[in-house]
Structure 1
C-alpha cells in the first residue's frame, strides 16, 4: 500500500528506558505505541480530541466505545473519580495490573475535556512501561489495542503483539505514529478484565487476565460471570 513507506520512515523505534521521548511526543499531540504483557497499545493525550480522533478513525471504532484512561496512581484516580468501597477494594488488590474499572467522574467539566475516555470512564493503573509513561507524561494518557474494531472473524489473530503486527496495522490504515517502544513479543495476548463500578455493587463486564474468582476473593462475595 502507498502508506507503508511513509510509516517506515516516520515511526521511530525506541527502547523502554527512553520513556522521556515518548512522554514528549504525547505532550506534542503525537501518537505513541507502547508494549504491555497483553498487547501493544496506541496511546495519546486523553485531552487532545484531534489525536484521539485519529485513533478512533484508524480503528474504525465508534466514539461510543471509549479509550481507556491510564491513571498514574491510585491517589490520582481518587482525586478524579468517585470510588465506591468495592471499587477501592479491587484497585487496592489488583493495581497496577490487568484490571480496568468503569468509574464516575467527580467533575463533569473534566469529563467534558476528555470525551475520548467516556463517562463513566474506563480507568486502569498499568504496570510496566505503560504505567511508567502515565506517571512521566504531563498529559492524561489514553490507550487502546492496535487492531480494527468490530466482531473478529475466525481468521482474525487479534490485536498486535509484535512490532511487525504494529507495522502491518499502520500500513493498512495510514495512521501516523511518532514512535514505538520496543517490548519484544507480548506474551499474554489477552484482554484486561473490566468491572463496572459505577454503582455500589460492582459487576463483571468482561473477563480477562484477572480471573472472576480473584475478583470474588477481593470483594468477599461472589461476582457473577460476564
Structure 2
C-alpha cells in the first residue's frame, strides 16, 4: 500500500466531521468503542472494506461486525425476531454483537458478510462511536484496529503505533472502558448460541433469556462463520490455478491478457479490486456455468490480500460433503 500520513483527530465536532468525510470517500478511520478501537470503513463500499483487510494483513475474509447508531438503522441490514429484540432491549447499546439473517435489499458489501446470508451487527455504547456513526449516517464495518494477530488496541496511541502510515485517520476518544472485544451471539429461529465470549458476560445473557445458551464446546454449537472447509462453494465444480480453459469450463480471470476470461477479478492485477469483486463475481460466474460447465480460476499470487483470496477459493474448491 502507498504510505499515508495518518491524521490524529479530536473527538469534537470538527474532528468527527473530518472522519465522516474520509469514510464517505472510502477511507479508513480508527475510532473508539467501549470494547476496543475499531478500524472503520463504509460497510456498503466493497473497495473500502477490502482496504481494511489489506491494512490489517488479514489472511482470510472472515465476516466483519457492522456498527450502527440505532435500532432503526440496524433493521435496514438485519432481520430481528422476538429473541433478538429482547436482547437488544437488554443490552444495546453495548458490547454484544448479534449474528442475524440479512434483510432484503441491505446494500452491504459481500466482503462484510463473507458471502453468507447473515450479518454480525451491534450498536456501540461509546459516546464518540455514537457521534461518528451519526455524523457518517451509515453502517461501518469495524474489526479491531490492529494488524492481524496482534494485540487489540484500547487507546489511540496503540492504534498509532501499529497503523501509522497505513490508515487515513484515528479519532482519539480516550481509553476503552471494557477493553476486550464484544460478545458474539448467533440467533436462529429464536435459538441463541455463543460464537465468541467477550465484553458481555454469558451469565447476563442467560439471565435475560431465562435459560442456558449453547457454548462453543457443545457439539451442536454453530462454528464461527467461514470455518467450514467447503463453506463458500458455488454449485459448479471449481478448478484453481488454471493457466488455460477447457471446453467444459468458464474462466474467472485475474490480471492482464488472460485468454478466455468470462469475468476478471482485476484486469490490472489489483488485489484490493479483486477482493472487492470476489464474492459477487463467484456468484455471477456460477450462474454463467450453470449445470453443464465447471469454473476455472486463474492463479492469484500468494501475497498481500492474495492470501485471503486464495483461502476463500480453496474453500470453494474443496470436496463437497
1:216 is aligned, of 203, 206, 218, to 206
SS at match of 1:25: helix
The alignment status of 1:169 with 2:192, answered yes or no, reads no
Larger CA Rg, structure 1 vs 2? 2
The alignment status of 1:14 with 2:20, answered yes or no, reads no
Measure, in 2, the Cα distance between the counterparts of 1:176 and 1:163.
Answer: 13
The 5 A counterparts of 1:1-226 are 7=4, 10-18=5-13, 19-107=16-104, 109-110=105-106, 113-118=108-113, 119=116, 120-127=118-125, 128-150=127-149, 158-171=151-164, 175-177=166-168, 179-226=169-216
Superposition CA RMSD, Å: 2.0
Structure showing greater relative contact order (alpha-carbon pairs closer than 8 Å, 6 or more residues apart)? 1
**Following superposition, which runs of at least 4 residues in structure 1 exceed 3 angstroms of deviation?**
none
The structure with the greater share of residues assigned to helix is 1
Aligned length: 209
**Uncovered stretches (5+) of structure 2, i.e. residues with no partner:** 217-321
Measure, in 2, the Cα distance between the counterparts of 1:116 and 1:221.
Answer: 34
In structure 1, the residue matched to 2:281 is none
Q: Is the 8 A contact 2:34 2:94 kept in 1?
A: no
Q: Deviations over 1:120-162 (max 9, x none)?
A: 1110011121122222213321111022334xxxxx5x11222
SS at match of 1:134: helix
Q: CA deviation at 1:64?
A: 3.3
Measure, in 2, the Cα distance between the counterparts of 1:217 and 1:17.
Answer: 38
Q: Is the 8 A contact 2:6 2:166 kept in 1?
A: no
Measure, in 2, the Cα distance between the counterparts of 1:130 and 1:14.
Answer: 13
SS at match of 1:76: helix
**Uncovered stretches (5+) of structure 1, i.e. residues with no partner:** 151-155
SS at match of 1:91: helix
Measure, in 2, the Cα distance between the counterparts of 1:208 and 1:94.
Answer: 13
Q: CA deviation at 1:20?
A: 1.8
Q: CA deviation at 1:63?
A: 5.0
Measure, in 1, the Cα distance between the counterparts of 2:63 and 2:195.
Answer: 14
